[in-house]
Structure 1
Amino acid sequence: MSGAAALAGAVTGIQVGAAMVATRFVLDQTGPASLALLRYAIGALVLLPVLLATARVRIAGRDLLPIALLGVGQFGVLIALLNLGLQTVPAGRAALLFSTMPLLTLVLAVAAGRESPSVPKVTGVLLTLLGVALALGEGAFTGGPGWAGEAAILASASCGAACTILYRPYLGRYPALPVGVLAMLASIAFLAMPAAAEGFFAAVPGFTAAGWLAVAFIGISSGACFWLWLWALGRATPTRVAVFLTLSPVAASVLGGALLGEAVSPALAAGVACVALGIWFAHRPLPEGRPVRG
């Protein structure tokens, strides 16, 4: 994995955590589907001018629907399942459950023949999970029973893992930008339905000035970082990109403590070090003679 692809993955992982903090800040001012619609509508508006200013790429008709469905899965189904789980599962436990996405990505990629398992890769993924658990502290394990919510969050992580793998063939045929714009536009069409049920189109959203700034940050950063995410996926195996998502709960913990006054685990530094060590392990090269797929 090149240094540029690793940097793109790391920036995206941190952005996901920062967007979680901004979402928590503004979610009491609107519904979850309405916020998701605004997020990806702004993201698409950020990417469209860049796409129009660059060389035109025609996506084959047979690929339009699969890419659109991937967008619906990643931005619609994933978010719906995650929000459903967050209704009953404490935020710390939810973050830990969702951070299993790199491990799920590795399992699915191996099952699909897209990657070969290796000791460094498996060790790295497990170390990042341990690091997230340490960073979140005991809050990741406390709370009442909520198996249905936990199942929804794991299903959300599984959806993200599957999309991460399934994007790869299309990123081998087309640049990341047109793929990202098409996927995001499809998700907007999907999210318009639940947003309408929340009354999004009945009146102008009543955000405060700070709320609009948070929405703008969420949308602009999501558009830019989704482009970076796809760009990295086109240049590295799915697991090696997905492992950077373990930075998101760590970033959310740090920013939530600094900006929202949320409790920060005393073991945060140890968790960050463990996540960094896991990412390093996951990106160690295989011994000579071992094949690499994807």
Structure 2
Amino acid sequence: MRRHDTLALLAAAATGVQVGAALVASRFVIHDIGPASLAFLRYAIAVLCLAPFVIAGARVRFSFRDLLAVMGLGIVQFGILIALLNLGLQFISSTRAALLFSTFPLMTMVIAAFLGRERLTGAKTAGVLLTIVGVAVALGEGLIRSNGTNDFFGALLVLTAALCGAVSSVLYRPYLSRYPTLPVGASAMLASILFLAGPAGLEGLFTDGTHLDQRGWIVVILIGLSSGVGYILWLWALKHTTPTRVTVFLSVSPITASLLGALILNEPFTFGVFLGLAGVVSGLWLATRTGADERR
């Protein structure tokens, strides 16, 4: 049991790195392809990678009700979340997007507490407040230094995406306890592709194509491959430990995005971003450090 718990935390940490890297990669190509089109291609590639393993695995029979629920969660987590996130990246840097998206675990913690899945302690509440302050510092500097309206709109889109992910992470748990991880993930992704085909078509993906060059297509393919692997790791981690303990590792994503954004996209790593990053990471640590004690 302890071994599974450790492996679950390692899987969650790997997903945190993947999220930060995917944010930077998406920012790299987002001006050459629509946000819904990028999300559609991302998960179409991911499903194609997972399909051979699903086909080769044991047959799983979902109840009709459970299948509808899993597909609905997939539309929210892959379709709506990623489209909102990609749209937000048109207005703010990948570093700030990652900082804002790192409120995901705190939203998860509050929602889980509200639904009676986890206990909201004083330390967790203090962590929530500290993380909100960190996000406000990072965003506030951006509003002063650049186009305030665009930054605010981009931030709102990213925070809404994080809320979609938090709700999905809490609601996935019952289905992961009933069914294997891989079929659940593949079914959720397939539903999101069907959903995203509509808005991607409106952006002209199937008629006008994209403005991606060869390098851009390589980036999109890599985003898709990493998303397939990352999501299966994410679901496996959710299956073996609590949602808050899994999502807390998204605090790794702003660190990854900040470093890669500075190296690849020449995005500034300012003092305000550093303070915001410190606040977010400190708040997440404070909010989740009692997890082991509560389990015992």
Could you tell me which residue of structure 2 aligns to residue 185 of structure 1? 190
- Please show how residues 1-294 of structure 1 align to structure 2 within 5 Å: 2-86=5-89, 93-119=96-122, 121-122=124-125, 138-139=141-142, 142=145, 143-145=147-149, 150-265=155-270, 281=286, 284=289
Task: Give the drift of 1:82.
Answer: 3.4
Task: Give the drift of 1:209.
Answer: 1.6
Scaled by the length of structure 1, the TM-score of the pair is 0.85
**Larger displacement relative to structure 2 (198-207 or 249-258):** 198-207
CA distance in structure 2 between the partners assigned to 1:111 and 1:105 by the alignment: 10
Q: For residue 110 of structure 1, what is the amino acid of its counterpart?
A: A
Q: For residue 45 of structure 2, what is the amino acid of its counterpart?
A: I
The secondary structure found in structure 1 opposite 2:240 is: coil
Deviation sequence 1:201-255 (CA, Å, 0-9, x none): 1145442121111011100000110000000001111111111112112211100
Aligned length: 291
Change (3 A) 1:228 1:62: same
Deviation sequence 1:68-103 (CA, Å, 0-9, x none): 000011112223333455555666554433222111
CA distance in structure 1 between the partners assigned to 2:188 and 2:232 by the alignment: 11
**Larger displacement relative to structure 2 (32-41 or 196-205):** 196-205
Change (3 A) 1:135 1:215: same
Deviation sequence 1:110-152 (CA, Å, 0-9, x none): 0101112235555566666667778899448755146555444
Larger relative helix fraction? 2
Change (3 A) 1:205 1:286: closer
CA distance in structure 2 between the partners assigned to 1:71 and 1:218 by the alignment: 18
The secondary structure found in structure 2 opposite 1:234 is: helix
Task: Confirm or deny: 8 A CA contact 1:15 1:248 kept in the other structure.
Answer: yes
Change (3 A) 1:216 1:92: closer
CA distance in structure 2 between the partners assigned to 1:215 and 1:90 by the alignment: 18
Which blocks of at least 5 consecutive residues in structure 1 are unaligned?
Answer: none
CA distance in structure 1 between the partners assigned to 2:132 and 2:143 by the alignment: 12
Which blocks of at least 5 consecutive residues in structure 2 are unaligned?
Answer: none
Cα-Cα RMSD = 3.0
Change (3 A) 1:91 1:52: closer
Q: For residue 62 of structure 2, what is the amino acid of its counterpart?
A: I
**Larger displacement relative to structure 2 (261-270 or 196-205):** 261-270
Task: Confirm or deny: 8 A CA contact 2:262 2:268 kept in the other structure.
Answer: yes
Change (3 A) 1:154 1:133: closer
